[in-house]
């Protein structure tokens, strides 16, 4: 994945980082004048900032930090609203259904933006038609962790052990269709191993299953798995980014440990409903991109296990498109469908 507008990665960052409307007669000129006027008066009231994650999560932390900066830059209050459910699709649908006046924005991630079209039998929005990308906010790899009881000390030893014990190992995930699930499905396919999937309802029970030995493998975000590794309850083997990740520099990448080309990362970004005037999208992008480049903001996000990204709306649109194309065959291979 290396479209020209995407920046390369040294870790968790991606390598390669409309609603059209019209009318007839005099309405064309009316609409042409209305959008700039609307953009000039924006924001006319407090902004609604929807989070596709629960309060206290890393996405929520990110959103509240960015909300502070938007308030300072735009001179309007920013009301953070958490809508965590259904793999982020409820929040993402709420953003898609909101008026296209620039007063509603939100943060969504790879699940509802790239995975959901192939996972859900009835998805109430189309990520490409009903949403306008604004900016990639941050990314992070998953960490491949194993139960402390397994003898493997690196990825190749794990693959050899799994091949020698087909059908004897299982891996936990934080839920069907999650990045945790699909990253391991990719690992299974590329390593030619048979490790069974056991989905759990969220990160805490999946982590408990790994620490207790009920599951032997797990891909999880760094902030979730690191405390267990530090306590000696699990062993971290590698990160899922294309190369070593700057926030965990001692861990190799899976791609450098026996599976060349392996890459999976969790990413998120700000979106607005399709049809929001281009001037507003540009203004939001500039404000948020500036915030993500601020050393103080970057330090706070690094502390939450997130690597800020930034960039243009076009780069974010390319990321969503490319990730959807990458994961579509993997999702179809797993046979996972969610009603």
Q: Per-residue pLDDT tens for 320-334?
A: 999 999 999 988 887
The pLDDT, as a whole number, for residue 105 is 98
Let me know: does 238 contact 201? Beta carbons within 8 Å: no
Cis peptide before 43 (omega within 30 of 0): yes
The pLDDT, as a whole number, for residue 2 is 39
Asked whether the predicted pLDDT for residue 19 surpasses 50, the reply is no
Residue 115 banded pLDDT, cuts 50, 70, 90: very high
**Kindly report the CA angle at 288 between 283 and 290, in degrees rounded to 5?**
95
Same fold, 26-140+265-334 and 143-256: yes
Asked whether the predicted pLDDT for residue 229 surpasses 80, the reply is yes
The token duo for 293 is 């480049």
Share of the chain above pLDDT 70, in %: 88
The pLDDT, as a whole number, for residue 36 is 55
Number of Cβ within a 10 Å radius of residue 31: 12
Average pLDDT over residues 283-311: 94
Which DSSP symbol is given to 78? Answer: E
pTM of the model: 0.79
Average pLDDT over residues 214-220: 95
Q: Per-residue pLDDT tens for 230-258?
A: 999 999 999 999 999 988 999 999 999 98
**Kindly report the CA angle at 233 between 232 and 236, in degrees rounded to 5?**
75
Lowest mean pLDDT among 30-44, 106-120, 127-141: 30-44
Asked whether the predicted pLDDT for residue 71 surpasses 60, the reply is yes
| Residue partners of 77: CB distance under 8 A and separation at least 6 | 46, 47, 71
The pLDDT, as a whole number, for residue 305 is 82
Asked whether the predicted pLDDT for residue 1 surpasses 80, the reply is no
| Euclidean distance between CA atoms 140 and 264, whole angstroms | 9
The pLDDT, as a whole number, for residue 13 is 53
The pLDDT, as a whole number, for residue 58 is 81
129 in helix, strand or coil? coil
- The residue ranking higher by pLDDT, 309 or 174, is 309
Average pLDDT over residues 83-92: 88
Sheet holding 217-220, edge to edge: 195-199, 169-173, 217-220, 143-147, 234-239
Let me know: does 102 contact 92? Beta carbons within 8 Å: no
| Euclidean distance between CA atoms 52 and 90, whole angstroms | 8
* CATH code matching the domain that covers 143-256, chosen among 3.40.50.300, 3.40.50.10860, 3.40.190.10, 3.90.580.10: 3.40.190.10
Q: How many helices (H) does the chain have, and how many strands (E)?
A: 12, 11
Residue 40 banded pLDDT, cuts 50, 70, 90: low
The pLDDT, as a whole number, for residue 79 is 97
Residue 175 banded pLDDT, cuts 50, 70, 90: confident
Average pLDDT over residues 129-133: 98
Q: How far is CA 103 from CA 22, 83, 133, 179, 272, in A?
A: 22, 17, 15, 30, 9
| Euclidean distance between CA atoms 313 and 323, whole angstroms | 15
Average pLDDT over residues 26-53: 69
Residue-range domain boundaries for the chain: 26-140+265-334, 143-256
**Kindly report the CA angle at 127 between 174 and 283, in degrees rounded to 5?**
110
The token duo for 271 is 């979106």
Residue 192 banded pLDDT, cuts 50, 70, 90: very high
Asked whether the predicted pLDDT for residue 22 surpasses 50, the reply is no
| Euclidean distance between CA atoms 11 and 13, whole angstroms | 6
CA 102 to chain centre: 22
Average pLDDT over residues 64-78: 96
Q: Which CATH superfamily is domain 26-140+265-334 in?
A: Bordetella uptake gene, domain 1 (3.40.190.150)
Asked whether the predicted pLDDT for residue 8 surpasses 70, the reply is no
The pLDDT, as a whole number, for residue 38 is 54
What helix, strand, coil percent values describe the chain, rounded to 5?
45, 20, 35
């Amino acid at each position: 994945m290396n479209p020209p507008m995407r920046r390369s990665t040294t870790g968790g960052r991606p390598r390669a980082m409309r609603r059209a409307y019209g009318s007839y007669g005099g309405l064309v000129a009316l609409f042409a004048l209305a959008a700039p006027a609307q953009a000039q008066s924006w924001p006319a009231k407090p902004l609604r900032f929807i989070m596709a994650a629960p309060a206290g999560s890393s996405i929520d932390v990110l959103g509240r930090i960015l909300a502070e900066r938007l308030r300072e830059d735009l001179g309007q209050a920013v009301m953070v609203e958490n809508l965590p459910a259904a793999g982020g699709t409820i929040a993402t649908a709420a953003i898609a259904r909101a008026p296209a006046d620039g007063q509603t924005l939100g943060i969504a991630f790879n699940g509802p933006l790239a995975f959901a079209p192939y996972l859900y039998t009835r998805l109430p929005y189309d990520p490409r038609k009903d949403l306008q990308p604004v900016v990639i906010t941050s990314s992070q790899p998953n960490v491949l962790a194993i139960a402390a009881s397994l003898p493997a000390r690196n990825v190749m030893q794990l693959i050899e052990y799994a091949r020698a014990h087909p059908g004897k190992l299982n891996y936990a995930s934080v839920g069907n269709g999650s990045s945790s699930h699909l990253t391991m499905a990719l690992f299974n396919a590329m390593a030619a191993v048979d490790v069974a999937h056991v989905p759990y309802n969220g990160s805490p029970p999946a982590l408990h299953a790994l620490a207790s030995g009920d599951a032997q493998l797990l891909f999880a975000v760094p902030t979730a798995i690191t405390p267990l590794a530090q306590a000696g309850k699990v062993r971290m083997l590698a990160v899922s980014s294309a190369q070593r990740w700057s926030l965990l520099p001692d861990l190799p990448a899976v791609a450098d440990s026996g599976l060349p080309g392996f890459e999976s990362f969790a990413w998120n970004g700000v979106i607005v409903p399709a049809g929001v005037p281009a001037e507003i999208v540009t203004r939001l992008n500039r404000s948020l991109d500036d915030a993500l480049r601020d050393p103080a903001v970057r330090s706070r996000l690094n502390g939450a296990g997130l690597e800020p990204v930034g960039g243009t709306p076009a780069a974010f649109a390319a990321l969503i498109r490319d990730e959807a194309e990458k994961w579509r065959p993997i999702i179809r291979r797993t046979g996972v469908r969610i009603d």
